[in-house]
Each structure stands twice: as C-alpha cells, then as structure tokens.
A and B are shown apart, each in its own frame.
Chain A
Amino acid sequence: MYTSVKGIGRLPAPLNGSRRTGPAVSSTVVLLGLTSLFTDISSEMVVAVLPLYTTVALGLSPLQFGIVDGVYQGAAALFRVVAGYTADRTRRPKAVATTGYLLSAATKPALLLVGGLAGLTAVLGVDRAGKGIRTAPRDAMIVASTPPGRLGQAFGVHRSMDTVGAMAGPLVAFAVLSALPGSFDAVFVTSFCFALVGVAIIALLVEERAADFGVSSRTARDSRTVRFRDALALVRNRDLMRASVAASLLAVVTISDGFLYLSLSERHDIPIRLFPLLFLVTATTYILLAVPLGWVADRIGRARVFIAGHVVLIAAYLVVLAPATSTTRVILALSLVGAYYAATDGVLSALTSRLLPESLQSSGLAVVQTGVTMGKVVAALAFGALWTYLGLSIAITTFAVGLAAAVAASCLLLPGATNIKPASR
C-alpha cells in the first residue's frame, strides 16, 4: 500500500480500533498541552492589546486587512516544512519544537524595544515563524506518545488546553492594564514571563524518547536516517496527498475568525466593545467539545468527524446570514464555530498521522498544515475582496456554497470518509 515509503522504516502496525493500551492520555500530551497553554496566554495577551498599542485606526479596508494577515501566514509556511523535515531527519522533534517556542518567547522583550509599526510587524512575523516551526514537531510528539486508537482524544486534550490559554490571554492582559493603565510594557513583560514558563515546560519536563507506540524497539533504533528524497517521496503517498488536498480545499472556503466576528457585528449590530466576548463563546464551546469529539473521532472515524465539522461550519455561516437578529442567533453561530474547531483542528492531525510512516511524522504533518495555512491565506484575500467589492451577503453565501462543494469533494478524497465500516486505523 505504501509503495512510496518502502524501506524507510517500519510502518506503524495496523491496529484495530479495539486496542487501547496504556494511559488514555500520556503525561507528554498533558505537558505539551500545558506548554501550549502558557505560550498561548503569552501570545494572546499581546494580540489582544496590539490594536490599543497602535491605537489610532489605520483605516484598513477589509481587503487590506486580509492582505496583511495573508503575508504573515505565507511567510510562516516555509518555516513549517523546513522545521518538520529537520525534526524528522534529526529525530529530535522536541529540539525543533523547543526552538520554535524559544523564538516566540524571545519576541516578547523585543516588543519593548521596537518603536514604529514596521518594527512591530517584523517582531510579529518572527513570532509567527516560531509558531510555524513548532507546530508539526509538537504534534508528532503527541502522536509518538499516544496509542493510535486514542489519537483523536489525545489531540482533543491538547487542543482544549491550548484554547484555555488563548482565552486566558486577553483576560490577563486586561487585568494588567486595569492595574496599570496604559502600561503596555508591563503587558509585554508579563507575556514574556508566561512564554518562559511554556518553554521551560517543554525543555525541561517533556521527555524526548522514541515513539512508544506502533513500532518495535528495533526499528526505533534503525540507523538509516531519513533522507530528503524520502521526504519528497511523501508526494507519492496518494492517501496523504488526497488528505492534504481535501484539507486545503476546505481551508480555502473557510472564513477566518477575524472576518467572522466582523461579519457578525455588521449583520447583527454588535457593539465593538463586546468583541472579546465573541471569542469567549467560541473558545468555551471548543474547550467543552474538543475531547468528546476527539473520542468520537477515534470510534467512528476521524475523516468523518473532520468532514462533519465543516458541515457544522456551513450551518454557522447560514446563521450569520440569516436576516433576523437576536442574541440567541449570535451565540448559536459562535458555538457552531467552536464545535467546528473541536471537530477539525486536532482531528486533522490525528487523521494525517495515520497516513504517515513514523519516521516522517513531522514532515508529513507540516506538509498538510502548510496546505491548510496557504488555503487560509487565499481565503482571507478572497473574503476580503468579495466583501469590499460585492458586499457581505454575497461573500458569506459564496463561502457557504464553496464549503459545501469542498465537503462533497472531501468525501471522495479522504480515506475512510465514506466506508461503511469504521476506519480500521
């Protein structure tokens, strides 16, 4: 089946869905979750106060906003793939991930020193690069320490801790600002401290070890290192490529959070000062559903849950489009988005990892994640353009229709999506 990866290393032994040995979620996953929690508090603190820090409105149109965002995402994409390959080649995903966390942590003191907007955007760019570097190797570490039948659940745990951090970030930032009004330097110093703790957790407490699951110890010590051509050979892994295409197609027709909140505020007349609450609703739903949906994905098939998550997102768009306005609708739309995240973010990694040989986990995850990121770049530009030139209703409708088409395509592309029997891996 995996002709393209012959000889690279033993593949994970096929496992039926009933093998669930070991602790449900290993300490590594929890520790990585804590790392993400602290790191997210750190970065979301800064993100929350940035509009205040550069307080006079730049007057960007939605299209310009999309362009700026897109440039960042695009720049980080290159780092992702290189970092993923490095992690596999050196068999040190922890080192690569830690580097990424360290890089992002270092940008926090830099914020204290930069003066103008150009310096600020450069610092933010480095932060994003750090994020790109660490994501795939970290996910590979989660895979390596989790029984294959529990991947959905493990990712659910990790992602929910991550999101708790994202929620706490703005709260901490504003707590600092209420204690010290106007003191953005205090926000940045505090952010740095949280980032330091995050780095310390992964650097000092997470153990780097060969994959516990899926490979015999003999192959774990296989001396044949991954070569670049092996990584390139991933392209010939048809299941992986199909999954990557499906995920990217879905990403291209996904409205970003920022635009979604703006859309909600336009359609449903939400005062700007309530914006932070919008995120709280989405995040809460995400946190509540991430582990259960991950568990469900382990049972009925990750591809199915992944696709179902996007169907939920279509429903969310329809609610946003609906003409009448009410608080219930807004909360419903936001909750549906949270459910979408819970059903897709970690599940995609779980799904992808099973299509990859153990020695190419980071590279493969990076490839798929990059595809998704590039898809989002296109989505941001497209949505911004549609909104600016054709209006909000047309923009949302186009994306809803596009998403439906992408869902249909994904049913064909994703392995296991339409099998009658639950996926055996």
Chain B
Amino acid sequence: MRVRLVAFVVVLLLATGLAVGYVAMKSTDLPSHQGAGADTVADKGLALKTVLAQPHIAFRSTSPGPTYGKLAVVPLDAPRGDRAATDRDCDRVYAAAQAAVCVAADRGVLTTYRLDILNADLTPRTSIDLNGLPSRARMSSSGSLAATTMFVSGHSYAGNSFSTETVLHDVASGNAIDNVEKFRIVVRGRASDDPSINVWGVSFRPGDDDTIYATVAIGNETWLAKGSVARRELRTIADGIECPSVSPDGTRVAFKKRSTSGGTRTWRVSVLDLRTGASTPLAETRSVDDQPEWLDDEHVLYGMQRQNSGISDVWAVPADGRGEPAVFLPRAWSPAVVGGQDAAAALPPVR
C-alpha cells in the first residue's frame, strides 16, 4: 500500500507539473495583445505591413489551427493565397482605410464582448464594452464612424424572438454616440413609437458619414430603412429587406430577403436598385444569413458555413443576378474590402 501511495504522489506531482508547466510555457510564448499588430509575421510568411499597404480584405480567419478565429488580411488580388494573420481573436471584423474594428470576446464564467477599435496598422487604439452577443459590425468608408448590432436576447435571426441593440460609435474617441433604435423611426410614412422595434445591419453609404441604411423590424415584418445620423432619423423605403449593404457607387443595396418555408426561415441574397426600386435575386440559391459586402460594383461577397463544420468560406456572386457563385476567400468570415473601388471614388450626388 505504501508503494501505491508513493506512486500516487508521483503521479500527482507529474500531473501538476505538466499542467502548470504548460501554462507557464505558453504564457511566455504568447505575445500580448498590445504587442500584436504591426510586427506580426503571419501565416506562411506574409508580412502584415506588406498586405496592409495594398488593397486588401480584412476578415476573420476560419482556418483550423492556431489562426482560427483571428483577424487576418489578404491582398485583394490574391484572396486564395497566403494570408497574414494577427494574434487578435475577433468574432466580427470590419475595416476602412484609416481604422478597423473587431468585436471580441472577454472569455470567462460570464463571457462579455467589447468593440476593439484598431488603427490602420491594426494596432489597438481603444476598446468599448458591448452588451449581448455579436451580430453585425460596419464602418463608414472614411473610418470615422462604426456601427455594431448585438443580440441582447436570442442569438440568431433564425429564432422567433430576439432583440437587438444597434449602436453608433465615434472611431476617433471610441465613444458610443447613439443608439440607433432611439432614432425617430418612420414606418410606412408614420412615426413609430413601438418599443419592440429592432434595428440591425447598419450600412454606411460610401463616401458619406451621414447616410445610413439599416433593417427595421416590428414583429415579423422587416423593412429597409434609410436614415441620417445627424438628423437621428430612419425612414422605411422598401419592405422585406434585411441586412443591407450599400454598393461602392452608392446606387444599389445588397440584402437578404426573408422567406419562411415549412417552418424554417431562409434568406435569398439579392440586390435592390435604389433608383428604380427593382430588386434582383442573385445567383446564389442557398440560404444566406449574413450581411453581404460588396467586393466591387459588380460582385457581392457573403459568408457561407460549410456543412457540419466550424469552417466557413466567403463566396462571391455577380451583382446583376447572372453567373454563378464561387468561393472567393476560403476559410474566412466577416470580410471587409479596404482600398478597393469605394476608396475616394467619385460618387453620384446624394439623393
């Protein structure tokens, strides 16, 4: 029995040593978040600085392995090639030329989320606490405003009951400047004071820090609304439209159109022409529960989960309803195109 007792103590010491030793070793290996960013050489040797200096896509990597869930960038002209990953875990990513945002989790017994505001080189600038679970994040093309939508109850749009909170943030100071759901919301011509209104999926008109498009919903009805940050107002302009994203030339909005068949909710990604009011379903026939992002004036990007897997890919489909969808950026989620067509492009006059 004594032999066994000794053997047990040995095992106990070994196990403790292994656990403590491993944790200690990893904590010296792991660069702190403060250090991550400009110096990070990444996945397969692409240097972050090089990629950031050219038109690129910022996204959340879903490559299985050490870079899973991390903020990463890839050159716009080589999306299927090597990527430069940072050490930053993000649930949602968006970026503009001057800044980027990352919705990140503080894991603990109670997991909370925060909005990390990053500089152009992806070094951290400031952080703001967010309520709830991440849903969408977008920035204005100048990078001075960011909008986040979080689920304060429920956790997906596929559920029957969920409540969202959509907040506008000033990127320079990091302050939350407005709760979009407190805007004056005009539904079908009449101001609504329904407290259960949900607003989500804000998208900024490129080149414009004031005009926004968003989804407004009361119960099961959803509308596309257009609004003004300065006037704190949203007006519905078309119905059945969710998660809008404004095209680089400002004339169209890509969105997901909801339909309920056999008890399950599905969405078709489509494009609305703001001038004519005509809406065209795009060639992707699978259900897309994502806010689309424009690659350029001809193509729309959206995320698609792989079956039975934690991996997702970003697909591209022509914006005119023709052609076929194809994987554009594999093993990715939440893409943001930076330095593409929308950068300082000449825009038609504001309507």
Residues of A within 8 A of B (CB): 52-59, 61, 115-118, 170-171, 174, 176-183, 185-186, 189-190, 192-194, 196-197, 200-201, 204-205, 207, 265-266, 269, 271-274, 276-277, 388-389
Contacts and interface: CB of A to CB of B under 8 A. Distances in A.
Contacts of B310: 53-56, 58, 117
Given A116-B64, A170-B109, A204 B8 contact: yes
B12 interface: yes
B19 A190 contact: yes
Contact of B109 (A174, A180, A186): A174
Given A180-B26, A271-B152, A189 B19 contact: yes
A197 B23 contact: no
Nearest to B62: A56
Nearest to A38: B15
B158 A277 contact: no
Enumerate the 10 nearest inter-chain pairs by beta-carbon distance, A residue then B residue, closest first. A193-B19, A200-B11, A193-B15, A54-B310, A204-B8, A204-B4, A196-B15, A190-B19, A189-B22, A177-B107
Contacts of B15: 193-194, 196-197, 200
Chain A CB within 10 A, most for which of B23, B65, B91, B153: B23
A57 B23 contact: no
Contact of B23 (A56, A174, A186): A186
Nearest to A55: B69
B278 interface: no
B5 A186 contact: no
Contacts of B156: 57, 59
Given A189-B19, A190-B19, A273 B8 contact: no
Given A55-B69, A194-B19, A277-B109, 8 more contacts: A52-B107, A54-B310, A56-B305, A182-B69, A194-B15, A204-B4, A205-B5, A272-B133
A201 B8 contact: yes
B195 interface: no
Interface of B: 1, 4-5, 7-8, 11-12, 14-16, 18-19, 22-23, 26-27, 30, 33, 62, 64-65, 69-70, 89, 91, 107-112, 132-133, 151-153, 155-156, 158, 161, 263-264, 289, 305, 308-312, 333
Contact of B309 (A61, A116, A196, A388): A116
A192 B22 CA distance: 12
29 contacts: A53-B310, A56-B305, A58-B310, A59-B158, A59-B305, A116-B311, A117-B308, A118-B308, A170-B109, A171-B109, A177-B107, A178-B108, A179-B27, A180-B26, A181-B33, A182-B69, A185-B26, A186-B26, A189-B22, A189-B23, A190-B19, A193-B19, A196-B14, A197-B15, A201-B8, A205-B4, A205-B8, A266-B161, A271-B152
Contacts of B62: 56
Contacts, number: 116
A175 to B, nearest CB: 9
A180 B19 contact: no
B4 A276 contact: no
B308 A180 contact: no
Label chain A's interface by main secondary structure. Answer: helix
Nearest to B12: A197
A59 B310 CA distance: 11
Given A193-B19, A273-B112, A200 B8 contact: yes
Contact of A190 (B23, B69, B109): B23
A271 B22 contact: no
A266 B69 CA distance: 28
Contacts of B111: 273
Contacts of B152: 271
Contacts of B22: 186, 189-190
B11 A197 contact: yes
A269 B153 contact: yes
A189 B18 contact: yes
Nearest to A188: B22
Nearest to B70: A182
A186 B264 CA distance: 39
Nearest to B65: A115
A151 B197 CA distance: 57
A57 B110 contact: no
